[in-house]
Amino acid sequence: MTKNLTSDERRGAFLSLLSVVFFVANILVLKALNVHAEAVDGWVGTVTRGVVGLAILTLVFRGSQGLKWKALVTHPLLLVRGIIGATTIAILYLTVDHLGAGRALILNQNYPLFAGILAAILLKESLGWRGGLCLLAGFVGLILFLGSGMDFEGVSFWDGLALLGAFLAGLVVLLIRHLRHDFQPPTIYAAQCLFSVVIAIPVCGGKVAAVTPTAWGFLAVAATLVTAGQLLLTHAFRVISVAKGSGVQMLLPPITAAGGMLFFGESYTALEAIGAVVTLGATWLLLNTRSPQPKDSPMHPLNSVINKKPTTTQEP
């Protein structure tokens, strides 16, 4: 018999769902700016997200031991997490501009598939036969979504870039799993925000000066939404499992795709829709599939509970 959710679990599920709403709103606002504000592109969006994120973290965690500024530029793995994380944000926003909100999210949100492969290769984690089938189904779905019946002539550079973003996001997941033992969530998220600014500002060039005050206002709203969504999700993972919270996050691509169809006239063929459903469904199943691990493994669930520090819950 399925146990009823506790009040904490219901609250965590609600916060995770609310974060999805904020994430979708962020993407749709940025897409609208791509369409209506010529100077706004993915790089400008990346800079704004970084600046606003740093400002909010400073206000919320001012004086807290959870936010260690010096470590952002002195700890090697935190540096790598910041650079790669910022790159994934830039790729996401650039592909939203060129592919459309729905297609970009469907491709970028497949990072758990790549995280599963990287964990098996780098951490020697066993996927198990269920996990292996989920990975296979996920990539078959990607082929259907991209290939339109094995005809890959329509696959663009931006499609490939979105898949690279998903791969890099999968790598970030592994980095966070390692860093969570030494740093708290604000510091790890601040690394991404800081390097979003560092990486994107040189590329923006004169575009920053060309952005209108109205566009800056909407950019600030979008960046505030995504930062609030990230903080809500981080808090949600304190009271619900990663599998449940991540499962809720799999609502992000279909809701964003629906928004893209409603507001921007985006469309999909029947085969693309089937491929999207297959790959997102396989990703959801993978997130909810437990892999068998030896009890002496540092990644074994029992050890993660025993060694868990209450203040080290991480964002995904």
DSSP-assigned states of every residue in 219-240: HHHHHHHHHHHHHHHHHHTTTS
Q: What is the pLDDT of residue 254?
A: 94
Q: 227, 228, 236, 238: which is closest to 192 by C-alpha?
A: 227
Split at pLDDT 50, 70, 90, the class of 246 is: confident
Q: How far is the C-alpha of 56 from the C-alpha of 234, rounded, in Å?
A: 15
pTM: 0.85
Percent of the chain with pLDDT over 90: 54
- Which residue stretches of the chain are H helix? 7-36, 42-60, 71-74, 76-99, 101-108, 111-122, 128-147, 157-179, 185-204, 207-210, 213-236, 242-249, 252-264, 270-287, 301-306
Q: What is the pLDDT of residues 162-213, one digit of tens each?
A: 999 999 999 998 898 889 888 988 999 999 999 999 999 999 877 888 999 9
- Is the pLDDT assigned to residue 311 strictly greater than 80? no
pLDDT at 294: 41
Confidence of residue 297 (pLDDT cuts 50, 70, 90): very low
Q: What is the mean pLDDT of residues 270-282?
A: 91
Please tell me the predicted confidence (pLDDT) of residue 5.
61
Specify the pLDDT at position 305.
Answer: 29
Tell me what the pLDDT averaged over the chain comes to.
Answer: 84
Going by C-beta distance under 8 Å and a sequence separation of 6 or more, which residues neighbour residue 74?
none
pLDDT tens-digit map of 139-152:
999 988 987 544 56
Mean pLDDT of the region 254-272: 93
Cα–Cα distance between 99 and 101 in angstroms, integer? Answer: 7
**How many alpha carbons lie under 13 Å from residue 281 in its C-beta half-sphere?**
10
Cβ count near 298 (within 10 Å) = 12
The encoded tokens of residue 157 equal 């550079």
- Confidence (pLDDT) at 4: 62
Query: Which pLDDT value is given to residue 3?
Result: 53
237: nearest Cα among 9, 21, 25, 67? 9
Distance (Å, rounded) from C-alpha 149 to C-alpha 145?
9
Predicted local distance difference test score (pLDDT) of residue 243: 66
Residue 313 confidence class, pLDDT cut points 50, 70, 90: very low
Residue 127: per-residue pLDDT: 77
- In this prediction, residue 295 carries a pLDDT of 39
Burial grade of 206 (CB within 10 A; 0-12, 13-18, 19 or more): exposed
Q: Is 2 exposed, middle or buried (0-12, 13-18, 19+ CB in 10 A)?
A: exposed
Q: Give me the pLDDT at residue 70, please.
A: 92
Q: pLDDT digits over 120-140, tens only? A: 888 888 878 888 899 999 999
Query: Is 171:82 a contact under the CB 8 Å cutoff?
Result: no
pLDDT at 288 over 80: no
36-74 residue pLDDT tens: 998 999 999 999 999 999 999 999 988 777 899 999 999
What CA–CA distance (Å, rounded) separates 185 from 187? 6
Instruction: Determine contact, residues 134/285, Cβ cutoff 8 Å.
Output: yes
- Residue with the larger pLDDT of the pair 205 and 280: 280
Which of 180, 198, 213, 11 has its CA nearest to residue 89? 198
Model confidence pLDDT, tens digit, residues 2-45 = 456 677 778 888 988 999 999 999 999 999 999 999 899 999 99
CB distance 248 to 20 below 8 Å: yes
Spatial contact of 79 and 16, defined as CB atoms under 8 Å apart? no
Q: What does the DSSP 8-state code read for residue 3?
A: P
